[in-house]
Amino acid sequence: MTDLKSAPLWEAIKWNDDGLLPVIAQDYQSGTILMMAWMNPESLEQTIKLGEAVYWSRSRQKLWHKGETSGHVQKIHDVMLDCDGDTLLLKVDQVGGIACHTGRNNCFFRSLEGNDWKVNAEVLKSPEDIYGK
- High-pLDDT (> 90) share of the chain, %: 88
Residue 61 pLDDT: 94
Domain 4-96+108-131 CATH (choose: 3.10.20.810, 3.40.50.10470, 3.20.20.60, 3.40.640.10): 3.10.20.810
- Average pLDDT (23-37) is 98
pLDDT for 3 beyond 80: no
Q: What is the spatial distance between Cα 19 and Cα 38, in angstroms, rounded to a whole number?
A: 10
The pLDDT tens digits for 35-85 are 999 999 999 999 999 999 999 999 999 999 999 989 999 999 999 999 999
Nearest CA among 59, 64, 55 for reference residue 20: 55
Q: What pLDDT, in 10s, does the model give residues 91-111?
A: 999 999 999 999 999 999 999
- Residues 85 and 13: beta-carbon distance below 8 Å: yes
pLDDT at residue 6, rounded to an integer: 64
Q: Are 24 and 36 in contact (CB under 8 A)?
A: yes
How far is Cα 69 from Cα 103, in angstroms, rounded to an integer?
13
Please, what's the largest Cα pairwise distance for the chain?
Answer: 53
**Residue 1's pLDDT is what?**
44
Q: HSE of 44 in the Cβ direction (CA atoms, 13 Å)? A: 26
Cβ atoms of 86 and 94 within 8 Å: the answer is no
User: Residue 9 — pLDDT band, cuts 50, 70, 90?
Assistant: confident
pLDDT band at 126; cut points 50, 70, 90: very high
CB 104 within 8 A of CB 122: yes
Q: Given pLDDT bands bounded at 50, 70 and 90, which one contains residue 132?
A: confident
Q: What angle do CA 5, 64, 36 make, to 5 degrees?
A: 85
